[in-house]
Amino acid sequence: MTTSFHNSILKLTANHRFEQLVIVVIIANSIVLGVETYRPLYEANKALFVTIDTAFLCFFVSELALRIYAHRLAFFKGGWNWFDFLIVAVSLLPFLGNLSALRALRILRALRLLSAIKEFRDITESLVRAAKGAGAVFGILGLLLYVFSVMSSKLYGASHPELFGNLQTSLFTHVQLMVFDGWGQTVGGVVATSGFLSFWYFLFFSLIVGFVLVSMLVGVIVEAKQTVTNEQLLKEIQSLQKNDN
């Protein structure tokens, strides 16, 4: 009887419709939490919102309990399972206190979509896989930002102290230039007082940092995504071969 019940729970948690139900509930919970941000509406229906939130939490705890019962200790061998477990555990914190900061943590439940939707899982795994290569790119980016910030502080700090007066200010300005925030206004002001030669300095910086390094970062992520896809295909082929044997 126990084995039969366990197999039933195992089939239930692996069922595609059950997974779809979980996704729908996560999305619905996220929408309700968004609606709560409209203070007058929330205050007028506070009891209803609390009841709905409790129902959502009960669903997530029950769903997690079923999955733990179905897979037992093997459940904690999966990284995504740990992710779901921690998200649900954090969701329980608001019931341990009335602090608004704790209640704000409930929106973390929306992050469970990262594990519930396969496409989201693939992208997230690709980003994690790309972290090592991306770290090198960010290291180069940080070095270039530092070099250009010190250089521009020496060149334009006296004439534009509000932009390049010291290392901190210059770094902030170069980050803005990197994302092309007010690029024309900043560069135009410097060119007007320092001459047209300064335009080529900022153009060179934007080309190196804004285009080349960003392209390198995208390339690292795309390569990692392809690696994850190939590994998944290999696992599927091996699984099919085992079934055939």
Domains of the chain (ranges, CATH numbers): 2-116 (1.20.120.350), 131-244 (1.10.287.70)
Weakest mean pLDDT among 99-113, 163-177, 200-214: 99-113
Q: DSSP labels for 123-165?
A: HHHHHHHTHHHHHHHHHHHHHHHHHHHHHHHHHHTTT-HHHHS
Q: What is the pTM of this model?
A: 0.65
pLDDT-derived band at 243 (thresholds 50, 70, 90) equals low
What single-letter amino acid sits at 123? I
- Highest mean pLDDT of the ranges 1-15, 62-76, 107-121: 62-76
Of 178, 176, 169, nearest to 144 (Cα)?
Answer: 178
Q: Give the Cα separation of 199 and 191 in Å (integer).
A: 6
Cβ atoms < 10 Å from Cβ of 214: 14
User: Residue 137: what are its φ and ψ, rounded to 5°?
Assistant: -65, -45
Weakest mean pLDDT among 6-10, 18-22, 140-144, 207-211: 207-211
